[in-house]
Amino acid sequence: MKPITNLLFVMLVSANIFAQQPFNGKSAVLKTEFIYNAKDVPFPSCHASTIVESNEGLIAAWFGGTDEKNPDVGIWLSRFTDGKWSIPVEVANGVQNKDLRYPSWNPVLFKKDNGEIVLYYKVGPNPRSWWGLFKTSTDNGKTWSPENKIPNNLLGPIKNKPVRLPNGNILYPTSFETSKKWNIYLETSTQDLKNWHKINIDNNNLNSIQPSILFYKDGKMQLLCRSKNKKINQSWSEDKGETWSAVTPTTLPNNNAGTDAVTLADGMQVLVFNPIIKGRNKLAVAISKDGVNWNAAILLENDSKKSAEYSYPAVIQTKDGLVHITYTWNRELIKHVLVDPSKIKSKAIVNGKWPVQ
């Protein structure tokens, strides 16, 4: 009986180990790839990617240079054509004159109703004193206009993509930082990128930045935000984005790092975030129908090294129904993940804890 006992013991241990493995949901992932090879670019560090679907395919951008905050950091861009990503090119930077250059920050890509692509970005010595700029492209990202400054006291989208409102206006999720306080708010413009206005939000003495925007039935909308209080924070609108509730915490964890979210065509809400309160070595996808109850969908990264960084995701749905995610991979590369949302098999997130298998 001893061999049988030993075998039973091994089986029980194996089953327990498997049960403790985090839920990964990888069956919904169709492809993972790096957008560029390190040998093909002159910069060693990158961060804060963005992605959009143009009339000719995907476009991705990010900031790259020797390191975040350094003056040589510019905005780099790659286009997905003929089944591959193009060699990245610098399309914007913070050169002021021959003797002065500031770092560039947080590009955001958006397609207007007429197909024109807009690249929003920031320039300045730091997030407390940067300013907002944009360029436009009428040829799907091949060439870009000269830079245009966003009106004073406004910044444009701070990290995550704008959305189109039912009246055709563009709604920008944005925020500002000082040494003592973070606050989210919103901005709007018309499709011609004029007539900018600010929508204030009661931040409820919570430190929140970098919101993303979700849509629900009957004009209801939701903001999800990065925070300093170890939770993803939120605000709700019942009137198509004209007014917003005071900011409150959700049940989802936040590690003081950026998130992104998108509403799919079928109404499913998709959130990409670090499902932890410390570090950036795990990155995940969650889904929800109501924006309150969230299910674990995909564990994109789960590194045992605490120093690893997978962060600042961007997420969109393309016209074929698939979901595209880009994110920072160890500050060295930008990773692209293709997801089929119809293949997602999810498990409930209870009390903010990522579930096991």
What are 57-82's pLDDT values in tens digits? 999 999 999 999 999 999 999 999 99
Residue 43 near residue 65, CB atoms below 8 Å: yes
Residue 186 near residue 173, CB atoms below 8 Å: yes
**Model confidence band, residue 139 (pLDDT cutoffs 50, 70, 90):** very high
Q: Is it true that domain 24-348 has CATH number 3.40.50.970?
A: no
CA angle 283, 244, 230 (to 5 degrees): 30
Residue 341 near residue 264, CB atoms below 8 Å: yes
**Model confidence band, residue 1 (pLDDT cutoffs 50, 70, 90):** very low
What is the pLDDT, as a whole number, of residue 4?
A: 56
pTM of the model: 0.94
**Model confidence band, residue 18 (pLDDT cutoffs 50, 70, 90):** low
Q: What is the mean pLDDT of the chain?
A: 95
Q: Is the pLDDT of residue 130 over 90?
A: yes
Strand partners, 249: 233
What is the pLDDT, as a whole number, of residue 20?
A: 84
What are 160-202's pLDDT values in tens digits? 999 999 999 999 999 999 989 999 999 999 999 999 999 999 9
Residue 122, burial from CB neighbour count under 10 angstroms (0-12, 13-18, 19+): buried
What are 82-104's pLDDT values in tens digits? 999 999 999 999 999 999 999 99
What are 289-327's pLDDT values in tens digits? 999 999 999 999 999 999 999 999 999 999 999 999 999
For 137-142, what is the mean pLDDT?
98
Q: Where are the domains of the chain?
A: 24-348
